[in-house]
Amino acid sequence: MSENGDWYIVSAIVENKPGVLFRITNLFRARNFNIESITVGITEQPDLSRMTITTKSDERIVEQLVKQLRKLIDVVEVRVLDTDKSVFRELALIKMKAVDPTTRSEIMNYASVFRGNIIDIGKETMTVEITGTPDKIDAFKNLVEQYGITQLARTGVSALPRGVD
């Protein structure tokens, strides 16, 4: 699959039981689908999970991905979300080097502009929690890279369609 292509967000409702995540990721591997991120968590119905999959791809491949997912017995519903008509968020924890007071205050300023939170301060590091679209997180990451990012954790995108659906 090419590096290029458009972003797609695929949302799937799946059975909340052991082995389901394995079946889905194994399908991606076996059929050569390249995915950027995948998040899973239970929904308003405890026996169902919502899985949000993001992929950079083209329409034909995404159509196949959706059809192959639908074939899985444990997958109850699959759809490609229209990015204009849905809300999507990702959470990132970014730990960076921050020793001198100037750096620390700069980071705090940046974090506040990006509506992030400082969630941990150590002798030599600060950790920022930031939530938003992947673009926003990328922007923040690029901004603070100058201080030296020591550790980074991103959750991948979670998404829901807007309004009554």
User: Nearest approach, Cβ of 162 to another protein (angstroms)?
Assistant: 25
User: Nearest approach, Cβ of 4 to another protein (angstroms)?
Assistant: 21
Helix (H) or strand (E) holding 110: helix 101-113
Query: Which lies closer to another protein via its Cβ, residue 63 or residue 135?
Result: 63
User: Nearest approach, Cβ of 33 to another protein (angstroms)?
Assistant: 12
User: Nearest approach, Cβ of 73 to another protein (angstroms)?
Assistant: 5
Cβ–Cβ under 8 Å, residues 36 and 56: yes
Query: Which lies closer to another protein via its Cβ, residue 70 or residue 85?
Result: 70
Residues that bind another protein (CB under 8 A): 14-15, 19, 22-23, 26, 30, 60, 63-64, 67-68, 70-77
Query: Which lies closer to another protein via its Cβ, residue 48 or residue 118?
Result: 48
Rounded Cα–Cα distance for residues 153 and 43 (Å): 23
Cβ–Cβ under 8 Å, residues 149 and 141: yes
Cβ–Cβ under 8 Å, residues 55 and 34: yes
Query: Which lies closer to another protein via its Cβ, residue 64 or residue 117?
Result: 64
Two tokens, residue 69: 């997912």
User: Nearest approach, Cβ of 148 to another protein (angstroms)?
Assistant: 41
Query: Which lies closer to another protein via its Cβ, residue 10 or residue 75?
Result: 75
Instruction: Report the b/e string of 141-163 with b at 16+ CB within 10 A.
Output: beebeebeeeeeebbbbbbeeee
